Amino acid sequence: MQYIHPILHHDAQLIAIHKPSGLLVHRSEIDRRETRFALQEVRDQIGQRVHAIHRLDKGTSGVLLFGLDADSARAVSRQFEAGTVQKRYLAIVRGWPTDEGEINYPLSRQYDDYERQPDTIAPPQEALTRYRTLACITLPHSVDRYPSSRYALVALDPVTGRKHQLRRHLKHIAHPIIGDATYGKGQHNRLFTQLYGSQRLLLACTELSFIHPASGIPVKIVAPLGDDFANLILALGWTLPKF
């Protein structure tokens, strides 16, 4: 079976798709049982080899960019490493964060299970995320010791690009992302499954901006939310953000 992914951008050097939640970018020792990978599916979809430029967590949806040749992929990857790529995410989180703010909290380097960890533990890496609260709601459902539950829709701009940065930073300020089985709260995740049938991480990459490796012209790629995320926002009585 061939899977067709919405194409957000396609030129001679690059292709960007809208990755759905639950799809791995490429084969990983972390999920050995998985048989679907975005890298292979995009290759099959366009009939051409593609090169991974960056990663999105399996549960995260949104803009996923590939190079159509190794040099172009390498050039844009260097922009990610240099922190010059602008990224925008949307998330639904527990609680009500302040209207806007910064999370400036260093994060320790995380290694995948198959990676060899160094004998000497490196100091935490600088990590900075800016956020803006777009909407809030109180649901009349008891979780833990509270008679009702608060949630918010937030826009997130990661200035640095550490592994799981947004998920770890939101946990750090006690506003974990709903649907996050690792850094979130199980009671709130289960409530969203019971009320709305949501079984995904409510985090989406909606925007990437970078310099095109061939033309040198700024490129901005935008991904509207998938139906599963968009319908949940509407069910909460919020207005869909404009893209």
Please say whether the beta carbons of 42 and 17 come within 8 A: yes
Residue position matching structure tokens 């990459």: 205
Cα R_g (the chain), whole angstroms: 18
Distance CA 222, CA 243 (A): 7
Is residue 164 within 8 A of residue 58, CB to CB? The reply is: no
Of the residues 11, 31, 44, 57, which is catalytic? 57
**Nearest of 205, 218, 220 to residue 158 by alpha carbon:** 205
The answer to whether residue 57 is catalytic is yes
| Rounded distance between C-alpha atoms, residue 208 and residue 64, angstroms | 9
Give the residue numbers annotated as catalytic, written as ranges: 57
